[in-house]
Amino acid sequence: NFKNFKKILFPKIFSYSKSKKYFYYDMEYINGSTLSLFLMTQPLFETNNIFRDIINFIFNCKKNSFSKHKQVDFIKKIYDIKKKNTFTNNFYNKIFKSLNNHNWNNIEKSQSHGDLSLENIIIKNQAIKFIDLSENFVDSYKLDISKIMFDLISCWSFRNVPLKMDSLKVYSLKIHLLEILSKKLSGDDFEDIKMLIILDFLRVLHYTNNIDEIDLLEKQLKNFYDN
């Protein structure tokens, strides 16, 4: 579905099949730099140029959006996350109340990467390649925006970068993206994306067992929610 978008490339798919109930595919290996590492090693204007093309891709998906997801799709996901018994702190009661009270009926169905983290964007010879496309619980361009913003807010994709994180670069990129998005999205769209970012935090918190990573995520989530 994405092959017609000239600025974004995808690895070749060599084979795909199912093993029991799981779908899998074998893709070409791309020996390039993740966007998180690229951001740390290259001038910021180079990263801004790359993000311009990524944003164009996302809003091309928006342009081709059709119907909207139902409230129940999100309430079910919120319930599934909450019942894992991972979130025992009282702070999470406020989080889940906000999620359940949000109007989720404004999220359009569209093509999307599904897991558009900075680790799943590879830069090689100035070309942008998306890897690890995933089927998420919903398909929407807003999910891709939320995943990128979650990454920049939580610094999740920078945890494995073999360099000291440049906080100023990350902050500058986040502000640059917000300026672009503010011209393209409504206030209701931003509310949707903020709620999706919170869901991203909870979903990652659920599957990580590393204490330091959990502490980092909880600290960033509280800061994001309170502000």
- The pLDDT assigned to 11 comes to 86
Give the burial class of 172: count Cβ atoms within 10 A of its Cβ; 0-12 exposed, 13-18 middle, 19 or more buried. Answer: middle
Provide mean pLDDT across the span 138-151.
96
Q: What is the pLDDT of residue 12?
A: 87
Neighbours of 89 (CB within 10 A): 11
Q: Residue 143 — pLDDT band, cuts 50, 70, 90?
A: very high
Q: How confident is the model at residue 134 (pLDDT cuts 50, 70, 90)?
A: confident
Tokens of 88: 């025992």
pLDDT tens profile 43-73: 999 999 999 999 999 999 998 888 999 999 9
How large a percentage of the chain has pLDDT more than 70?
98
pLDDT of residue 4: 66
Phi, psi of 16 (to 5 degrees): -155, 150
pLDDT at 187: 95
In the chain, % of residues over pLDDT 90: 68
The pLDDT of residue 6 is above 80? no
Say if residues 133 and 23 touch (Cβ distance below 8 Å).
Answer: no
- Which among 103, 74, 109, 88 has a CA at the least distance from the CA of 200? 74
Residue 118, pLDDT score: 95
Model confidence at 160, pLDDT cuts 50, 70, 90, reads: confident
The CA distance from 159 to 172, in Å, is 19
pLDDT reading at 5 higher than 90 = no
Distances (CA, A) of 194 to 131, 164, 191, 201: 25, 28, 5, 11
pLDDT tens readout for residues 70-96: 999 999 999 999 988 778 888 999 999
Give the 3-state secondary structure of residue 6.
coil
